[in-house]
Amino acid sequence: MIMRDFGGEVPSEMEQLLKLPGVARKTANVVSAHAFGNIQGVTVDTHVKRLSNRWKLTKSDNPIQIERDLMALLPQPEWEKYSIRTIYHGRAVCKARKPQCDVCQLVQFCPSAKEYLN
């Protein structure tokens, strides 16, 4: 499809990326931001989904709605940085099963800390 419809070049625009088989907004956002420097949305993976809910930045578990909520809250230049930082924090500290609130630098700001601290 890239050869046939896009002249052999990966497209940079969201609308075109979403036409590619297997590409949804998560992948399209990553490709767009990292390959083209074109920030068109917030990448919502499993970490962004979990942490954005723990931080009460969204009430949804639907990635499309989570992305909408985050885009409304965050300045556009921060969208991809938010995703990257959140993914790293989710991998290293705010893990799915056992968030490490006792060593988390966000503990004083986090609305979910009480839930996990003993």
Does 54 engage in binding with ligand SF4 (CB under 6 A)? yes
SS (H, E, C) 41-64: CCCCCHHHHHHHHHCCCCCCCCHH
Max CA distance (Å), the chain: 58
- 49 belongs to the catalytic site: no
Q: How many CB atoms lie within 10 A of CB 53?
A: 15
Does 94 engage in binding with ligand SF4 (CB under 6 A)? yes
For residues 103 and 62, give the distance between their C-alpha atoms in angstroms, rounded to a whole number: 29
Q: What is the DSSP letter of 98?
A: S
Query: Least distance to ligand SF4 from the beta carbon of 101, Å?
Result: 3
Does 116 engage in binding with ligand SF4 (CB under 6 A)? yes
Instruction: Give the residue with the Cβ less far from ligand SF4, 16 or 112.
Output: 112
Does 99 engage in binding with ligand SF4 (CB under 6 A)? yes
Instruction: Give the residue with the Cβ less far from ligand SF4, 87 or 113.
Output: 113
Which of 33, 39, 48, 101 contacts ligand SF4 by CB under 6 A?
Answer: 101
Query: Least distance to ligand SF4 from the beta carbon of 15, Å?
Result: 34
With vertex at residue 101, the alpha carbon angle to CA 95 and CA 105, rounded to the nearest 5 degrees, is: 105
Query: What residue ranges in 7-88 does DSSP mark as E strands?
Result: none
Q: Note the residues at the interface with ligand SF4 (CB under 6 A).
A: 54, 93-94, 99-101, 104, 106-107, 110, 112-113, 116
